[in-house]
């Protein structure tokens, strides 16, 4: 059983939780601003059918139009390094904070440390997460900026403690930019150039078109999964980081495809929310087709909803035009990058700049050499762990057949040990 961080912002807010000492996060969505509930598939809807409000035509390649005007750039924002999320600088009350550009979030989210700057709450609302209900404060839309673009949309925002997210991903996150802002913008996410470009229009040749619709303020697309006769609806969630994989897959679909041999189970991870823990199975999908592009062996976790996370969208230079009903895709340098997962048996988080072991699976390379929970990883292969992004540390623990040497801190003692990852 693996204990790994999982993040999925499912409609309004990040539902952040920790079980025992394990940081494993799941995120929840709202159906409307004043009534916070998750978007759900229609009752009785078969997993191979598209919700009526989300049905779209097949994807088609984009075609440049004669006489198209040159690309007009409204704002260009650099993506902060050090993690898997789309982190961008937001100016608020005279200071700069890193926020996640998050299409899976219907409204803005501010860290609870910023709540005193948001004024008096309008109300408190019940947030329905994947595992239960929690209560959150709702605030008026604040005056904040992304470059020269105002984030003051008029839609409410919420405040929530994002500390566990910072620890689990090892990045400084203090909020989320949601669909109340993004739905009205055309923007291109370029992982090769490390930037997000806001545009007046998609341009003459933005890439292959993937039809998209917005239901209850959350975007959906349809993709084909090997073994199913009809395309499946998937939430588009650039704020979802599903523990080393591509996204989440409805449990009934996961089981059906596993029964056909189209999903190969890998392990089980513990995902938590504000309402408690839940177990998530992970497996490799035989084939996924999106807008005519095919991928094999992508990792999905069984869940209540279908979600394509940021790892998938980073395979493309993607131009999002939700008001135009489309996402345009051009292959990025990460198009063929394989999904990986931990092979060491270690679950690690970043706490106060230290890389801390929070769990060690039985009968794994890390367990066999005596690594324990609460050990601090000081170095990996001779490099200071504190100088490495947490995602880079995890990448080293996912390299098949690699020998890994770690310097551990245990109390006042230090010790070095090595182990070899399985092929």
Show which of 326, 341, 356 is a domain's final residue. 341
Total count of domains within the chain? 2
Burial class (CB in 10 A: 0-12, 13-18, 19+), 377: buried
Q: Is the same domain home to 353 and 328?
A: no
Query: 46's torsion region: left (phi>0), alpha (psi -120 to 50) or beta?
Result: beta
The set of residues, in sequence order, having a beta carbon less than 8 Å from that of 356 and lying 6+ positions away, is 348, 349, 350, 374, 375, 376, 377
Task: Evaluate whether 18 touches 164 at the Cβ level (below 8 Å).
Answer: yes
Query: 54's torsion region: left (phi>0), alpha (psi -120 to 50) or beta?
Result: alpha
Q: Is the same domain home to 262 and 336?
A: yes
The residue behind tokens 């092979």 is 343
221 beta partners:
234
Show which of 323, 341, 359 is a domain's final residue. 341
Write the pLDDT tens digit of every residue in 323-378: 999 999 999 999 999 998 889 999 898 998 999 998 898 899 999 999 999 999 99
Q: Is the same domain home to 310 and 369?
A: no
Give me the CATH number covering residue 99. Answer: 2.40.70.10
Alpha helices in 226-348 (DSSP H): 251-259, 310-313
The 10 Å CB-count burial string (b at 16+, else e) for 255-268 is: bbbbeeebbeebee
Write the pLDDT tens digit of every residue in 389-407: 888 998 899 999 999 999 9
Q: What is the pLDDT along the chain (423 residues), one digit of tens a residue?
A: 333 333 334 433 333 332 222 333 333 333 333 333 333 332 222 232 223 333 333 444 444 443 456 789 999 999 997 667 899 999 999 999 999 999 999 999 999 999 999 999 999 987 655 455 678 899 999 999 999 999 999 999 999 999 888 888 888 999 999 999 999 999 999 999 999 999 999 999 999 999 999 999 999 999 999 999 999 999 999 998 876 689 999 999 999 999 999 999 998 866 654 444 566 899 999 999 999 999 999 999 998 899 999 999 999 999 999 999 999 999 999 999 999 888 999 989 899 899 999 889 889 999 999 999 999 999 999 999 999 988 899 889 999 999 999 999 999 999 999 999 998
Q: Is the same domain home to 273 and 215?
A: yes
Q: Is the same domain home to 139 and 77?
A: yes
- Give the CA count within 13 Å in the CB-facing half-sphere of 327: 28
207: nearest Cα among 67, 74, 327? 327
- Give the CA count within 13 Å in the CB-facing half-sphere of 45: 16
Show which of 306, 341, 376 is a domain's final residue. 341
Q: Is the same domain home to 367 and 395?
A: yes
Q: Is the same domain home to 373 and 330?
A: no
Domain containing 59: what range?
1-341
Q: Is the same domain home to 150 and 132?
A: yes
Show the tokens assigned to 138: 């709702």
């Amino acid at each position: 059983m693996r204990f790994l961080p999982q993040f999925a912002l499912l409609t309004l807010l990040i539902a952040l939780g920790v079980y025992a000492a394990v940081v494993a996060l799941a995120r929840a969505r709202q159906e409307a601003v004043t009534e916070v509930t998750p978007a759900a598939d229609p009752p009785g809807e078969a997993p191979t059918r598209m919700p009526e409000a989300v049905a779209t035509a097949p994807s088609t390649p984009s075609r440049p139009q004669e006489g198209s005007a040159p690309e007009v750039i409204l704002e260009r924002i650099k993506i902060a390094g050090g993690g898997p999320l789309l982190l961008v600088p937001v100016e608020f009350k005279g200071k700069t904070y890193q926020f996640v550009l998050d299409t899976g979030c219907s409204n803005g989210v501010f860290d609870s440390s910023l709540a005193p700057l948001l004024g008096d709450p309008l109300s408190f609302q019940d947030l329905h997460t994947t595992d239960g209900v929690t209560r959150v404060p709702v605030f008026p839309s604040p005056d904040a900026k992304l470059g020269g673009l105002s984030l003051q949309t008029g839609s409410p925002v919420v405040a929530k403690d994002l500390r566990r997210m910072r620890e689990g991903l090892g990045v400084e996150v203090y909020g989320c930019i949601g669909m109340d802002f993004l739905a009205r913008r055309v923007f291109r996410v370029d992982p090769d150039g490390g930037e997000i470009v806001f545009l007046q229009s998609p341009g003459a040749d933005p890439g292959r078109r993937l039809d998209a619709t917005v239901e209850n303020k959350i975007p959906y697309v349809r993709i084909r999964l090997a073994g199913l006769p009809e395309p499946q609806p998937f939430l588009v969630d650039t704020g979802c980081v599903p523990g080393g994989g591509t996204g989440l897959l409805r449990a009934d679909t996961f089981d059906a495809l596993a029964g056909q041999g189209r999903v190969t189970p890998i392990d089980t991870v513990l995902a938590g929310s504000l309402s408690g823990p839940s177990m998530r199975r992970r497996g490799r999908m035989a084939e996924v087709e999106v807008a005519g592009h095919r991928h094999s062996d992508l990792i999905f976790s069984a869940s209540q909803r279908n979600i394509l996370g940021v790892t998938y969208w980073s395979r493309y230079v993607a131009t999002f035009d939700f008001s135009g009903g489309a996402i345009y895709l051009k292959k990025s340098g990460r198009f063929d990058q394989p999904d990986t997962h931990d092979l060491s048996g270690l679950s690690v988080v970043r706490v106060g700049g230290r890389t801390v072991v929070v769990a060690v699976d039985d009968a794994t390379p890390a367990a066999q050499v005596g690594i324990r929970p609460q050990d601090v990883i000081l170095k990996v292969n001779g490099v200071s762990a504190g100088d490495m992004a947490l995602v880079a540390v995890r990448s080293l623990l996912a390299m098949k057949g690699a020998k890994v040497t770690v310097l551990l801190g245990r109390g006042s003692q230090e010790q070095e040990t090595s182990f070899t990852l399985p092929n």
